[in-house]
Amino acid sequence: MQVSATGQKASSSVNNAQASFGNNFDSFLQLLTTQLKNQDPLSPLNATEFTTQLVQFSGVEQSIRQNRNLEALITLQKDSQYASAVGYLGKTIEAKGDKASLANGRADFNYTLDGPAAKTTLKIVNESGQVVRTIAGETTSGPHSFTWDGRNDSGVREADGTYRIVVTAADSNNQPVSATTKIVGKVTDVGMVNGTIVLTVGTSKIPLSEVTAVRETPAV
């Protein structure tokens, strides 16, 4: 499992701010003490200015402490979410997405038509953006699955990797029918990328927030 260094960077930032504040405040106190020791008794320094600066330093210190407390709360929340996400390991999930991994001559795609169609076209696109396979899809309304054997339009087997499906559909009046795609697969790893919890399905990294369903048994 992978863990991002985002929390560590945030903590380092707060620590640096605290150290900088402490150094500046110490310098200010030294300067203030020196000025007070050497002030002219007949023309004392303006106490209002010193008071204002002290109040400003106090405000900065309070802000740093509030940021530290907020950082601690966020860390606790993410730790809790991360612990919950580990429960997805080994389970089959459904999530938003249009990609699938081709391995051993098989890649499973899933899509849903929002209404009946007269014609549905499925296009398989490789990582370079090239359409390698075009095939007719299901036309009835509802969820559908498509298993690609990895062969392109010329019958040649494509290399294993990540592929994307593009679904277009139209009704009998040649009006477009809305189609949505999703990822279905077993979770093999849980990690954190840029502060976001992600689940690994094949070669896809899926944000936890995009999971729409969980199955106890592997997809067929």
Q: pLDDT (tens digit, 9 = 90+) per residue, 185-206?
A: 888 888 878 878 888 887 778 8
pLDDT band for position 78 (50/70/90)?
low
Please tell me the pTM assigned to this model. 0.56
What is the SS3 assignment for the chain? CCCCCHHHHHHHHHHHHHHHHHHHHHHHHHHHHHHHHCCECCECCCHHHHHHHHHHHHHHHHHHHHHHHHHHHHHHHHHHHHHHHHHHCCCEEEEECCEEEEECCEEEEEEEECCCCCEEEEEEECCCCCEEEEEECCCCCEEEEEEECCECCCCCECCCEEEEEEEEEECCCCCECCEEEEEEEEEEEEEEECCEEEEEECCEEEEHHHEEEEECCCCC
The region of weakest confidence among 55-69, 79-93, 165-179 is 55-69
> What is the reported pLDDT for 103?
85
Query: What is the CATH T-level fold of the domain 92-215, as seen in this structure?
Result: Immunoglobulin-like (2.60.40)
